[in-house]
Amino acid sequence: MRRWIALLVTLSSISGCSSLPTPAHTTHPSQAFVEVPYPPPAALVEVVTKRPDSESVWIDGNWVWRGRYYVWRRGGWLHAPEGARYADWQAYLAPDGRLLFASGAWYDAEQRALETPRVLRVARTPPNQTTLETEVAR
């Protein structure tokens, strides 16, 4: 039994050794949050593709709120805008009971929203799943 535990600890530490290069992170400004009636589903599985160049950073896919439902936006490799920081999607319950959500987004130093850079190499979908860019969760 101890050997199995040691093997699991070793395997978990090996898998944690390689990390993807990611952009500098920040938090969303309060105005980025919108009220939603329900939380997003669990993230979809994506396969990391080959890094296109040494300047690329990886962004995970995330759900985007489209007014009545969530749509999956695939992750991938891209070039971070100069001086920009990335805020991962976030959902939280406000003290007044409302559910608030913000999709992953880029911000400048003054927390102004920036356009999402063009993805150089999109994440792949595992062969046992169908995941369209416009997949909807209702």
Boundaries of every domain in the chain? 20-137
Task: Provide the pLDDT for residue 69.
Answer: 94
- The answer, yes or no, to whether residue 40 has pLDDT greater than 90, is yes
- Please write the tens of the pLDDT for every residue from 73-101: 999 999 999 999 999 999 999 999 999 99
Average pLDDT over residues 108-112: 95
Average pLDDT over residues 31-59: 95
Q: What is the pTM of this model?
A: 0.77
Residue 59's nearest CA partner among 107, 12, 120 is 120
Read off the pLDDT band of 7 (50, 70, 90): very low
Residue 52 CA, distance from chain mean position: 19
What CA–CA distance (Å, rounded) separates 81 from 75? 16
Average pLDDT over residues 6-32: 69
For 4, the token pair is: 């199995």
Read off the pLDDT band of 128 (50, 70, 90): low
Residue 121 bridge partners (DSSP): 77
Q: Which of 8-17, 21-30, 58-67 has the lowest mean pLDDT?
A: 8-17
In Å, how far are 26, 73, 74, 85, 99 from 60, measured between CA atoms? 15, 9, 7, 14, 22
Read off the pLDDT band of 10 (50, 70, 90): very low
